[in-house]
């Protein structure tokens, strides 16, 4: 079964907000977002997931990409603007531990080549679109 996901590209001052993960001594980053609930639309899931994970209220912008890797089908949206200060919350905050860390980090767009952003195709698309 292919999971349906929604994620949001949040950019401010030439920085992108990423989920920072350390799992089993492996460090990587991901775009904030998550799995759709039954019957939920991608746009609604994107707004809900960002609120749950980051506490941010956002105005959702255009759909940028839809990527299906055989495991998940993820729709990526652009954030038009947001209010609040990004801080980890929701289930990610509750289950975060030393061996399964969840955090949020603003990364300069120009530094994306220096980090492990998953999936790798999204890094290529972000660099190609925003740099």
For residues 37 and 70, the model is more confident at 37
Hey, what are 79's tokens?
A: 């954030």
Q: Which helix (H) or strand (E) holds 91?
A: helix 90-95
Higher pLDDT, 113 or 98: 113
Give mean pLDDT, residues 25-51. 97
On the question of pLDDT at 1 being above 90, the answer is: no
Task: Note whether 119 and 89 are within 8 A (CB).
Answer: no
Alpha-carbon span 117 to 28, nearest angstrom: 6
Range 72-92 average pLDDT: 96
The whole-chain average pLDDT of the chain stands at: 96
What pLDDT is stored for residue 87 in this prediction?
97
Q: Is it the case that residue 26 has pLDDT exceeding 90?
A: yes
Q: What is the DSSP-derived secondary structure letter of residue 28?
A: E
| Locus of tokens 């920072």 | 20
| Model pTM above 0.85 | yes
| CATH architecture of the domain with range 3-130 | Alpha-Beta Complex (3.90)
- Predicted local distance difference test score (pLDDT) of residue 121: 95
Check whether the bond before 119 is cis (ω within 30° of 0).
Answer: yes
Say what the pLDDT of residue 43 is. Answer: 98
Provide φ and ψ at 5, rounded to 5°.
Answer: -130, 155
């Amino acid at each position: 079964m292919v999971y349906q996901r929604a994620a949001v590209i949040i950019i401010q001052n030439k920085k992108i907000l990423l989920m920072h993960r350390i799992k089993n001594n492996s460090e990587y980053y991901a775009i904030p977002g998550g799995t759709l609930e039954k019957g939920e639309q991608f746009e609604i899931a994107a707004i809900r997931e960002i609120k749950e994970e980051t506490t941010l209220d956002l105005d959702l912008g255009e759909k940028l990409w839809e990527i299906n890797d055989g495991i998940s089908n993820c729709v990526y949206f652009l954030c038009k603007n947001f209010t609040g200060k990004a801080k980890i919350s929701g289930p990610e905050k509750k289950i975060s531990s030393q061996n399964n860390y969840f955090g949020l980090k603003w990364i300069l767009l120009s530094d994306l080549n220096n980090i492990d952003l998953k999936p790798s195709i999204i890094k290529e698309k972000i660099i190609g679109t925003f740099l």
